[in-house]
């Protein structure tokens, strides 16, 4: 098992550009999450999904969008990138209601 795979690992965007952060898991987990981590801060939930075809907003969804067409993939879309979106983004998954997350290795995004 590869676990949770995120790509790219690093990216620099210009203000106003768009990009998609990829996340894939091969553990057949139902629940998937996108978090952002800012320096000295905890993880903040952007979007989550409880299964294929179902997504919903977390605490800080503005400026982002997601889709979940398959169990395995949960891409995060940034439209019109802003400097405030400079952060490290983590994708996580878990199988069911109980239990902890398996995290990806993160994507470090800088918007200039």
Q: Which residues of this chain interact with another protein, rule CB under 8 A?
A: 4, 31, 33, 40-43, 45, 48, 50, 56, 58, 90, 94, 97-106
Instruction: Give 3-state DSSP helix, strand, coil % of the chain, rounded to 5.
Output: 5, 50, 45
Nearer to another protein, 9 or 15 (CB): 9
For another protein, the closer of residues 33 and 74 by Cβ is 33
- For residues 98 and 25, what is the distance between their CA atoms, to the nearest angstrom? 18
10 versus 83: smaller Cβ distance to another protein: 10
CB–CB of 45/33 below 8 Å? Answer: yes
Q: How far is the CB of 80 from another protein (least distance, A)?
A: 26
């Amino acid at each position: 098992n590869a676990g949770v795979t995120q790509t790219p690992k690093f990216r620099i965007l210009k203000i106003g550009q768009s990009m998609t952060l990829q996340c894939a898991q091969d553990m057949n987990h139902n629940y998937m999450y996108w978090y952002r981590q800012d320096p000295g801060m905890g993880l903040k939930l952007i979007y989550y999904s409880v299964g294929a075809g179902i997504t919903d907003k977390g605490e800080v969804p503005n400026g982002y969008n997601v889709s979940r067409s398959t169990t395995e993939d949960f891409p995060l879309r940034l439209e019109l990138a802003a400097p405030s979106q400079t952060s490290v983004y983590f994708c996580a998954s878990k199988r069911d209601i109980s239990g902890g997350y398996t995290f990806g290795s993160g994507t470090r995004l800088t918007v200039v």
